[in-house]
Amino acid sequence: MAGDRFHGRVTNPGRLCDRPGCPEAGEFRAPGPRGSSFDGPGDYRWFCLDHVREFNAGYDWFEGMSAEEIMRAQSPINGWERETRAFSPTAGIDSAPRWADFADPLDAISKRARARRPAERADGRLLSPDERRALDALGLPLDADRKALRERYSQLVRRYHPDRNGGDRSYETRLQGVVEAYQLLRKAAAFA
């Protein structure tokens, strides 16, 4: 809106101020009860100008933090100590493709992209790359159902668990992978 002297004003006819009893329009956004996280920006409250000023005057971003956490958050290098995928030495890629396996370099690139994309089952449900790897660890096809998952898990536990295979502990790592795969898949939406 040209000439509006209040930066951040969002006009939306019909949205009222979230302050109980206030009949003014809610045109200014303030943090809500659910803060921002990895899955989105969180919730917002909408206030009129007077009430957003009141909210901002009493808002404490550091509330609930220890002195060390506050110092860390105020540090100019806060966040730079974490290595992001883009700036890691491998850029988040497990290994280089075996170029000899592909006639066209673009085939190698598209294979890597397909491996990172969710797979769609016949019933239309999507499986994340982690869920696909878990299915591979259990030796199950993409379209396996909950019953097949449970049967395969039981079969592999009987095969690899030392209490069930005569005390052979050489399969403990394999058993751990089976248990982790099953725990991931049993909670997956595709097997609900």
Distance between CA atoms of residues 29 and 181, nearest Å: 42
Domain stop point among 63, 93, 110: 63
- Decide: 164 and 158 in contact? Cβ < 8 Å: yes
Please report the pLDDT score of residue 170 as a whole number. Answer: 83
Domain stop point among 43, 63, 83: 63
pLDDT, averaged across the chain: 82
* H-helix or E-strand spanning residue 28: strand 28-31
Has residue 112 been placed in a domain? no
Has residue 81 been placed in a domain? no
- Decide: 177 and 159 in contact? Cβ < 8 Å: no
Domain stop point among 46, 63, 80: 63
Has residue 113 been placed in a domain? no
Q: What is the CATH number of the domain that holds 153?
A: 1.10.287.110
Let me know if 81 is exposed, middle or buried by CB neighbors in 10 A (0-12, 13-18, 19+): exposed
124-156: per-residue pLDDT in tens? 888 888 888 899 889 999 888 899 999 999 999
Which residue, chain included where needed, has tokens 């030796």? 139
Has residue 70 been placed in a domain? no
Instruction: Dig out the tokens for 74 from the structure.
Output: 């105020």
- 3-state SS assignment for residue 159: helix
28-72: per-residue pLDDT in tens? 988 887 766 666 667 888 999 999 999 989 888 788 889 988 888
Instruction: Dig out the tokens for 9 from the structure.
Output: 């004003």
Has residue 105 been placed in a domain? no
Please report the pLDDT score of residue 1 as a whole number. Answer: 44
Residues 123 and 59 in one domain: no
Q: How confident is the model at residue 4 (pLDDT cuts 50, 70, 90)?
A: low
Has residue 91 been placed in a domain? no
* CB atoms inside a 10 Å sphere around CB 159: 14
pLDDT above 70: percentage of residues in the chain: 84
Please report the pLDDT score of residue 37 as a whole number. Answer: 64
- Domain holding 158, by residue range, is 118-191
User: Domain total for the chain?
Assistant: 2
Q: Is the pLDDT of residue 163 over 80?
A: yes
Instruction: Dig out the tokens for 61 from the structure.
Output: 């971003």
Has residue 100 been placed in a domain? no
Q: How confident is the model at residue 22 (pLDDT cuts 50, 70, 90)?
A: very high
- 3-state SS assignment for residue 158: helix
Which has the closest alpha carbon to 30: 44, 11, 15?
44
